[in-house]
Structure 1
């Protein structure tokens, strides 16, 4: 929606195929989901390492992590699979509260209109859908997390427990959300998902931020290889009637790969 095309990284693909695809893209999105172990975790960990390596080598290579993606980053960076805490934020529209005196220049919120930022702290413009998260206290007490990221916002679950909801890396073009910026525009399975004009603007500004970061990448892959890998080569399936909350899904054929990256 912000002027980019998608190449799906299918975690069951052989490592050499995933590495080839990583050389065709200008940034990565870790999506939401539920898998926190096994092959999926190993592949995400390997891709994250590649993101760091590309940036350390001088290539601007952004990463956006959403919900599960956010949670996996905290586990990988701390090397602690038990870093997360339980929260009650399933199918919950919420506000985000900006950390006091936080400087948002250059962050995912940097180009949001001030009036929209204010509304985000008052109106429920973001969609939460998670059982886990991390409290500000635990986040700041962990040196691995607090040195890698800075906290931009917090949110409150249904039991008034506060958790970190948006973070930004200090040295890398990496931003992570505990919430789902994509749902406001694309998902209709829950009546709680906000679809107001302001909510749509939140999604739009997040998308524009990420793609603006991707445009800074110097990677210029071979056009034919890109065309062969685009998601347009796959057929989406309408899932809205199933009532699972996903209006459109891609069903990828599993590959016989048992090794991580």
Structure 2
């Protein structure tokens, strides 16, 4: 189906192809010790720099937004990024009577909107990195407990084990010399305590039906886990590793050599190239009020308990008060996977 979507858009892209792509980045409840999550949300500045160096603008998507607010923003931007973080993603007792989790609910709502855009013929990418990778896997599993504990992968570079696939849109974005380097010499940078293993794809059928596995890596005790996944029918995909850190973080062990910067740039350029394939647009006035430059950027270089050089900090919009709609994203997602998988 993804090939059909791409083919059907080739003609229209000649006419409708944005030259000013805008990416929405989902904020995280603050896990910074000096900024309480009841008052603040955030994401590392490195993700903004990673997007901007590929030629796009950034708007934060606040995790505590209403559905109406989310819908307005998603209709004006060209793609979405779920970042790394340290959020409890699980809904706990998921089936039936799950515990409400606004962050996961917001992500589920976005996930469904992205599917709707693509099914309507608007090529619209969603990328998840590290926690974001885990989040899209959790959503696509229809809230199966997808995470497995990893060993010694908090600040490590691991070789990629590629699954040969001529149809992989992720692999096509990395040149063969760089890909060979990542497979055989020095792989991407990881900073995670949890991962997703292939056996989970086999147990949670909707997960394996929705995503295909593009690459693996192995943790400190040789446990094989998924490094890259991509949806079979939509431009929704994820990296368990951190491409942005090689260029823009200086408090980690991520190497800053030419090979790693090259692959980081290639992945960013590919994501933004995909975002250019829809004609969503935002007015200059609206962009000026929403763009990332309106928000505080905090220097973290001298904070010993963090691996981020800088973060963007956002005041909380509202507390998690329940409304009749607040489980909409979760319920829509369950219905979608029950129907299709």
**Partner Cα distance (1:27, 1:199) in 2:** 24
Q: Is the partner of 1:176 in helix, strand or coil?
A: strand
Q: Residues 132-171 of structure 1: matches in 2 within 5 Å?
A: 132-171=194-233
Tell me which residue corresponds to 2:237: 175
**Partner Cα distance (1:21, 1:63) in 2:** 14
Q: Residues 100-139 of structure 1: matches in 2 within 5 Å?
A: 101-103=164-166, 105=167, 107-139=169-201
Q: 1:195 aligns with which of 256, 281, 289?
A: 256
- Number of aligned residue pairs: 258
Q: 2:158 aligns with which of 67, 74, 94?
A: 94
Contact 1:13 1:257 in 2 (8 A): no
Q: Is the partner of 2:123 in helix, strand or coil?
A: coil
**Structure of greater Rg:** 2
Q: Residues 22-101 of structure 1: matches in 2 within 5 Å?
A: 22-35=74-87, 36-37=89-90, 38-88=101-151, 89-99=153-163, 101=164
Q: TM-score, normalised by structure 2?
A: 0.72
**Partner Cα distance (1:150, 1:140) in 2:** 11
Contact 1:97 1:155 in 2 (8 A): yes
Q: TM-score, normalised by structure 1?
A: 0.93
Structure 2: any 5+ residue segments left out of the alignment?
A: 1-52, 91-100, 330-341
Deviation at 1:256, TM superposition (A): 1.5
**Partner Cα distance (2:230, 2:199) in 1:** 17
Tell me which residue corresponds to 2:301: 240
**Partner Cα distance (2:176, 2:79) in 1:** 27
Structure 1: any 5+ residue segments left out of the alignment?
A: none
RMSD: 1.6
Q: Is the partner of 1:121 in helix, strand or coil?
A: helix
Deviation at 1:141, TM superposition (A): 4.5
Contact 1:125 1:198 in 2 (8 A): no
Contact 1:29 1:63 in 2 (8 A): yes
Contact 1:165 1:178 in 2 (8 A): yes
Query: 1:216 and 2:277 equivalent?
Result: yes
- With over 3 angstroms needed to count, the CA separation of the structure-2 counterparts of 1:224 and 1:106, relative to structure 1, is farther
Deviation at 1:106, TM superposition (A): 5.1
Structure 1, 82-91 or 136-145: larger mean CA deviation = 136-145
